Amino acid sequence: MQDQTAIITGAADGIGWAMAQGFAEAGYRVLIADLDGDKAASRAAELGTAHAGAAVDVTRDSDVTALAELADARFGRCDVLVNNAGIADRHLPTLEQDMEHFGRVLDVHLKGTFMMSRAIGARMIAAGSGAIVNIGSIAGVSGMPRRNAYGAAKAGIVSMTRAMACEWAGQGLRVNAIIPGYVETALVRALIAEGKIDADRLRRRIPMGHLAQPGDIAAAALFLVSGQARYITGTTLTVDGGWSAFGDSGDASSG
Ligand code: NAD
């Protein structure tokens, strides 16, 4: 992986940061792209001088263009893109949801994934190879009350993954999505602290009896971009401890 590069959005924290660490350990040069530019820079410094951090709002076309140009200047190639940046729904009843937040959730996940893929995909097509990993959610494949925008955005990401995978398969690109279950990150810890998620009930709903660690999702991303996955494109890889496989009544585990 000496010269290979990975651009990971939302990588200053949570799952993205675990991915940045995992890809760096695997030998990739990593570009940490995050809304929080200072944290992105300090995280990159933590990884070492081969890596870079940059401020980007994935909903802004000009930010995305600037990021792609920075990747050109700094690395000169784009082998991997992970579209990971995300924000949570407010978990409000449908009748109380405001359109501003609804729009922002759709923009960060759906528009952000589209614009990043378009900018970096163009460079991968020119090079004749590349792998894109998008981050979905179990909220996008099953009905979760109070998560209209988040669920719809994540379902849209899966649809877009399939469309881009089919369009770009002949040009050497692979596009796949990971469907994480519940992962112990700041995003989920905040929902638990606000009483929007009951951690004990949640653990009992998961057949494996515990939440994922961010590194579990990073491991799946490393697999999807690796040579071992060379014939895999347009797929979704569920990493949820059995959450979506469970269909019985009652608890799935003792938690
Ligand atoms: P997190 O809040 O810990 O980290 C998200 C990162 O994204 C932050 O560093 C934040 O600054 C950045 N970000 C937010 N908006 C951005 C924007 N507009 N442009 C660039 N960066 C932006 O969240 P996480 O739990 O690590 O989630 C990462 C991804 O995984 C998200 O797409 C989320 O929807 C998805 N996901 C998380 C879980 C979970 O249980 N944590 C489950 C399923 C899917």
Predicted confidence (pLDDT) per residue in 89-102, tens digit: 999 999 999 999 99
Quick check: 212 and 180 in contact, CB under 8 A? yes
Residue 175, number of CB atoms within 10 A of its CB: 28
Write down the mean pLDDT value for the chain: 97
What is the percentage of the chain residues whose pLDDT exceeds 70?
A: 99
What is the percentage of the chain residues whose pLDDT exceeds 90?
A: 97
> What is the arithmetic mean of pLDDT over 98-123?
98
Whether residue 121 lies inside any domain: the answer is yes
Please name the residue whose Cα sits nearest to atom 6 of ligand 1. Answer: 10
pLDDT band, residue 200 (cuts 50/70/90): very high
Tracing tokens 């881009």 back to the chain, one arrives at 164
pLDDT band, residue 183 (cuts 50/70/90): very high
Residue among 8, 35, 106 whose CB has most ligand 1 atoms within 8 A, to mutate: 35
Give the 3-state secondary structure of the chain: CCCCEEEEECCCCHHHHHHHHHHHHCCCEEEEEECCHHHHHHHHHHHCCCCEEEECCCCCHHHHHHHHHHHHHHCCCCCEEEECCCCCCCCCCHHHCCHHHHHHHHHHHHHHHHHHHHHHHHHHHHHCCEEEEEECCHHHCCCCCCCHHHHHHHHHHHHHHHHHHHHHHHHCEEEEEEEECCECCHHHHHHHHCCCCCHHHHHHHCCCCCCECHHHHHHHHHHHHCHHHCCCCCCEEEECCCHHHCCCCCCCCCC
> What is the arithmetic mean of pLDDT over 167-189?
97
Please name the residue whose Cα sits nearest to atom 39 of ligand 1. Answer: 183
> What is the arithmetic mean of pLDDT over 174-201?
94
Quick check: 120 and 78 in contact, CB under 8 A? yes
- What is the pLDDT, as a whole number, of residue 172? 98
Whether residue 245 lies inside any domain: the answer is no
- Measured distance CA(9)–CA(57) in Å, rounded: 9
Residue 231 annotated in active site? no
Whether residue 253 lies inside any domain: the answer is no
Please name the residue whose Cα sits nearest to atom 31 of ligand 1. Answer: 86
pLDDT band, residue 1 (cuts 50/70/90): low
Whole-number Å distance, alpha carbon 12 to ligand 1 midpoint, is 9
Please name the residue whose Cα sits nearest to atom 3 of ligand 1. Answer: 14
What CATH number is attached to the domain comprising 107?
Answer: 3.40.50.720
Give the bridge partners for 179, in sequence order: 238
Whether residue 196 lies inside any domain: the answer is no
Whether residue 86 lies inside any domain: the answer is yes
Reported as a single tens digit per residue, the pLDDT across 17-39 is: 999 999 999 999 999 999 999 99
Short-list 155, 66, 63, 55, CA closest to 105: 155
Whole-number Å distance, alpha carbon 109 to ligand 1 midpoint, is 9
Taking CB atoms and a 6 Å cutoff, what residues make up the pocket around ligand 1? 9-10, 12-16, 34-36, 56-59, 84-87, 108, 112, 135, 137, 180, 182-183, 185-188
Residue among 7, 31, 34, 147 whose CB has most ligand 1 atoms within 8 A, to mutate: 34
- Measured distance CA(47)–CA(120) in Å, rounded: 23
Whether residue 124 lies inside any domain: the answer is yes
Total tally of structural domains belonging to the chain = 1
Number of the ligand 1 atom closest to the C-alpha atom of 217: 30
pLDDT band, residue 187 (cuts 50/70/90): confident
Number of the ligand 1 atom closest to the C-alpha atom of 108: 18
> What is the arithmetic mean of pLDDT over 208-214?
98
- What is the pLDDT, as a whole number, of residue 2? 62
Whether residue 192 lies inside any domain: the answer is no
pLDDT band, residue 228 (cuts 50/70/90): very high
> What is the arithmetic mean of pLDDT over 225-231?
98
Number of the ligand 1 atom closest to the C-alpha atom of 139: 43
pTM value?
0.98
pLDDT over 90 (residue 66): yes
| Residue 132: domain span | 5-183+213-239
Whole-number Å distance, alpha carbon 136 to ligand 1 midpoint, is 11
Whole-number Å distance, alpha carbon 85 to ligand 1 midpoint, is 5
pLDDT over 90 (residue 140): yes
pLDDT band, residue 46 (cuts 50/70/90): very high
Please name the residue whose Cα sits nearest to atom 33 of ligand 1. Answer: 86
> What is the arithmetic mean of pLDDT over 235-243?
98
pLDDT over 70 (residue 245): yes
Please give the structure tokens belonging to residue 158: 């899966």
Whether residue 199 lies inside any domain: the answer is no
